[in-house]
Amino acid sequence: MKEGIFPLLALILLLSSLYCTPTNSTAASSPTFDKYTIKVSLVDENRSLVGYVVLEHYNKHPVAFDRLYFHVYPNAPVFRATGGSLIVKKVLVDGVPARYSITGEDGTILEVSLPKELPPRGSVLVNISFETRVPYREDRLGYYLGVYALGHWYPILAVYDERGWNLDPYYDEGESFYFECAYYTVEIEVPRGYIVAATGVLESVEDRGNTVTYRWVTPLPVREFACSVSPNYKVITKTVDLNGRTVKVYSYYLEGHETAGEIALEAAAKSIKVFSELFGPYVYPELRVAEVHGWFGGMEYPMYVMITSRLYRPEYRELLELVVSHEVAHNWWYGMVGNHEGLEPFMDEAFAEYSDTLYFEAVYGEAKFREVFDRYVRRPYYRFLERRGRDYPLHFSVFDFQGDSYAYFNVIYNKGALVLHMLRYVMGDEKFFSLLKRIQNNYRFGVIRLVDFRREAEAVYGASLRWFFDSWIYGSGIPHYRVEAEARPIGLMYEVSLEVINEGKPVVAPVPVRVNTRLASLTVVVWVNGTRGSKTCLIPFEPVSVVVDPDDVIPGEDYWGEIPVKLRLFSRVQDEVALMSLIALLTVVNAVYERRSQSSEHIARGMPGNGDREHKRQVSSVSQEGV
């Protein structure tokens, strides 16, 4: 499809849409989700996408709008530096030319003035003709070594919420994206021989001689549309059965990466099955995993994920599997349940990071989970703390890290996963996974915030979790625990007194202490409200040693290992008093007994004759009865 054809197609589509859909409708049956129709042609000679996007937008808010805002991320300075841009050629609103301007602190906002006000529950049709120049770089938007990675390449509507219009700048080292779900129909014309991997379901492929047009549709709402294009892709597929419903998984890889392509395919297929069981069903019919050239490990999009070519090597087999499962998990955390990735990255990245370790637990067992969790989550975070000497709260936005990607990754990803693992320990497996399923059910195709997460967690837990959120989400710094223990025998039991001391950041936490006895081990939970906590309990075996937080479920390194239990008999004053009282009582009882014995003997000696015979008869009678 050539550039000159687009104005005619745009006019036909616009007239059709106007005829079928009343503008400024106030009908109660107005659809909830917007609709995007995109038609573009990939011009290989200058690495550009030329075409238009038509947005059918419904105003769900109780306020009227006189303008709309779109993100045009290719204009970000990082892309402009390597040849990227998005040029807006024309904007029509309900068929009428509209004024527009490029604005925003980094030039990534398109402001469109509406010819007339858009009332609540009204609708409007916006047609934007544009050209996107793809930068030459290894990135989520970039061309490199024969592969186009096309993320955030078209104008996409900004979100209006309680903050107003969210017009945050593009963030390079992390994500600042925030979109609402919509339906997409996308036609991409590419040179003949090029293969397209994309969000959605491939509805048709039309051969036009020198070009081929791929038509993609989304059967359910998605947050955005992304794709990759290359003449070098090889494709393999696998079908996953989800209790009678099938999902088709595709793996797109480059020449020479056949083995890694199969690993990526298997990991994606297993991830869909595992996460559907743990979180709730994957609702889409297809998923694609595509190899691209990127500085990142992977990048998430609905029904489609990018994986960097660097991981398609034999030595990175485990890491490839980890990254694929992480990005697939984003289809639950960011995709089906959305969030503002810029303001509250914990709500997607921490969940996806913990999810990829849950994948290893489900597929390979608990021992492998511990190994992977320690290698990729716990140890990197502790190394970060050692090197930096400081911590950050999990409620921080990506902008709060001020470009410090090392801190951002270790806090939001790794500390976030550690804290979610702690929440699982606090709630127990049944309630924790019930919470994740509840979130997927209640917020599907919507947006969740931190305050919503706390409310849902408390509803499932059945008690306040303010201590948890105050200390571990909104607070920073980690504790370092040590334990002291002593025991004393009480009858056939042992009374164990535990004292847990926090020598790090004062936080509230239920700290597990393992008590090792001569026959078995048991775990006692000690609530530490800031700096210390204590607990006394009875156990049936003699304690030998104790270990504080042996599985490190409370974030923070504890170096003490096994601590011997001090065994005492009567070390306390009250115990000594009790012992002396018992001895005195026994002495008195013994003295009384001796006096009574002496008195009985004296009486017996003083009563000879008949009395003695009577006594003998009684003894004889008892003996006979006994016989």
CATH of the domain at 4: 2.60.40.1730
Confidence band of 622 (pLDDT split at 50, 70, 90): very low
Last residue of a domain, one of 447, 473, 499: 473
Instruction: Please check whether residues 67 and 127 belong to one and the same domain.
Output: yes
| Amino acid found at 542 | E
Span 453-480, mean pLDDT? 97
Write phi, then psi, for 468 (nearest 5 degrees): -65, -50
Q: Number of structural domains, the chain?
A: 4
The residues near 569 (Cβ < 8 Å, ≥ 6 apart) are: 488, 489, 575
Quick one: pLDDT at residue 573? 46
Rg (alpha carbons) of the chain, rounded to whole number: 36
The DSSP 8-state label assigned to residue 144 in this structure reads E
Task: Please count the helices (runs of H) and the strands (runs of E) in the chain.
Answer: 14, 33
Judged against a pLDDT cut of 70, whether residue 14 lies above it is answered with no
Span 269-292, mean pLDDT? 98
Write phi, then psi, for 186 (nearest 5 degrees): -130, 130
Quick one: pLDDT at residue 173? 85
Mean pLDDT of the chain: 89
Report d(CA 18, CA 127) in Å as an integer.
Answer: 12
Quick one: pLDDT at residue 569? 75
Asked if 98 and 115 touch (Cβ cutoff 8 Å), the reply is yes
pLDDT (tens digit per residue) in 358-381: 999 999 999 999 999 999 999 999
pLDDT (tens digit per residue) in 606-619: 444 443 333 333 33
Judged against a pLDDT cut of 50, whether residue 116 lies above it is answered with yes
Confidence band of 592 (pLDDT split at 50, 70, 90): low
Report yes or no on 82 lying in a domain: yes
Number of other residues whose CB lies within 10 A of the CB of residue 370:
16
| Amino acid found at 156 | I
Instruction: Kindly give the pairing relationship between strand 521-530 and strand 65-71.
Output: unpaired
Instruction: Please check whether residues 465 and 486 belong to one and the same domain.
Output: no
Last residue of a domain, one of 413, 446, 473: 473
Judged against a pLDDT cut of 90, whether residue 598 lies above it is answered with no
Tokens standing for residue 284: 């889409």
* Per-residue CA distances from 207 to 190, 213, 231, 480 (Å): 10, 7, 15, 65
Confidence band of 221 (pLDDT split at 50, 70, 90): very high
The whole-model pTM stands at 0.86
Span 275-289, mean pLDDT? 98
CA geometry: angle at 134 spanning 133 and 139, to 5°? Answer: 150
Quick one: pLDDT at residue 17? 36
Report yes or no on 270 lying in a domain: no
pLDDT (tens digit per residue) in 148-187: 999 999 999 999 999 999 999 999 988 999 999 999 999 9
Report d(CA 477, CA 530) in Å as an integer.
Answer: 12
Instruction: Please check whether residues 401 and 428 belong to one and the same domain.
Output: yes
Report d(CA 218, CA 186) in Å as an integer.
Answer: 9
Burial class (CB in 10 A: 0-12, 13-18, 19+), 60: middle
Judged against a pLDDT cut of 70, whether residue 446 lies above it is answered with yes
Instruction: Please check whether residues 457 and 487 belong to one and the same domain.
Output: no
Span 61-74, mean pLDDT? 98
Instruction: Please check whether residues 5 and 109 belong to one and the same domain.
Output: yes
Contacts of 523-532 with CB under 8 Å at 24 or more apart are: 524/496, 524/498, 526/483, 526/498, 526/500, 528/479, 528/481, 528/500, 528/502, 530/502, 530/506, 531/501, 531/502, 531/506, 532/499, 532/500, 532/501, 532/502
Report yes or no on 458 lying in a domain: yes
The residues near 63 (Cβ < 8 Å, ≥ 6 apart) are: 120
Confidence band of 12 (pLDDT split at 50, 70, 90): very low
Instruction: Please check whether residues 15 and 34 belong to one and the same domain.
Output: yes
What's the CATH number where 521 sits?
2.60.40
Asked if 275 and 329 touch (Cβ cutoff 8 Å), the reply is yes
Judged against a pLDDT cut of 70, whether residue 582 lies above it is answered with no
- Residues in the chain, total: 627
pLDDT (tens digit per residue) in 85-112: 999 999 999 999 999 999 999 999 999 9
* Per-residue CA distances from 157 to 96, 110, 195, 483 (Å): 19, 9, 28, 55
Instruction: Please check whether residues 120 and 165 belong to one and the same domain.
Output: yes
Q: 47 or 626: whose pLDDT is higher?
A: 47
| DSSP H or E segment with residue 201 | strand 201-207
The DSSP 8-state label assigned to residue 309 in this structure reads G
Asked if 69 and 163 touch (Cβ cutoff 8 Å), the reply is no
Judged against a pLDDT cut of 90, whether residue 405 lies above it is answered with yes
Report yes or no on 168 lying in a domain: yes
Span 239-249, mean pLDDT? 96
Least confident of 152-166, 529-543, 586-600: 586-600
Between the two ends of the chain, the Cα-to-Cα distance in Å is: 119
| DSSP H or E segment with residue 112 | strand 109-118
Instruction: Please check whether residues 2 and 115 belong to one and the same domain.
Output: yes
Span 130-139, mean pLDDT? 98
Q: Could you tell me where the DSSP H helices lie in 443-572?
A: 450-461, 466-468
Instruction: Please check whether residues 441 and 587 belong to one and the same domain.
Output: no
Report yes or no on 133 lying in a domain: yes
Minimal CA–CA distance to 332: which of 275, 377, 379?
275
Sign of the torsion angle spanned by Cα atoms 518, 522, 527, 528:
positive
CA geometry: angle at 333 spanning 358 and 79, to 5°? Answer: 115
Q: Which residues pair with 141 in a beta bridge?
A: 150
Tokens standing for residue 574: 């009250």
Domain that holds residue 447: 362-473
Report d(CA 126, CA 90) in Å as an integer.
Answer: 11
Instruction: Please check whether residues 519 and 390 belong to one and the same domain.
Output: no
Report yes or no on 299 lying in a domain: no
Judged against a pLDDT cut of 70, whether residue 421 lies above it is answered with yes
Last residue of a domain, one of 542, 567, 592: 567
Report yes or no on 321 lying in a domain: no
What does the DSSP assignment read for 29-64? T--SSEEEEEEEEEEGGGTEEEEEEEEEEE--SSS-
pLDDT (tens digit per residue) in 482-534: 999 999 999 889 999 999 999 999 999 999 999 999 999 999 999 999 999 99
Confidence band of 572 (pLDDT split at 50, 70, 90): very low
Judged against a pLDDT cut of 50, whether residue 9 lies above it is answered with no
Span 119-147, mean pLDDT? 98
Report yes or no on 189 lying in a domain: yes
Burial class (CB in 10 A: 0-12, 13-18, 19+), 74: buried
Instruction: Please check whether residues 507 and 439 belong to one and the same domain.
Output: no
Report d(CA 625, CA 627) in Å as an integer.
Answer: 5
The residues near 581 (Cβ < 8 Å, ≥ 6 apart) are: none
Confidence band of 574 (pLDDT split at 50, 70, 90): very low
Span 398-415, mean pLDDT? 96
Tokens standing for residue 425: 């320990």
Calculate the dihedral angle through the C-alpha atoms of 9, 13, 14, 15, rounding to the nearest 10 degrees: 100
Confidence band of 595 (pLDDT split at 50, 70, 90): low
Instruction: Please check whether residues 441 and 420 belong to one and the same domain.
Output: yes
Quick one: pLDDT at residue 559? 78
Instruction: Kindly give the pairing relationship between strand 566-567 and strand 182-191.
Output: unpaired
Judged against a pLDDT cut of 80, whether residue 297 lies above it is answered with yes
Least confident of 12-26, 39-53, 409-423: 12-26
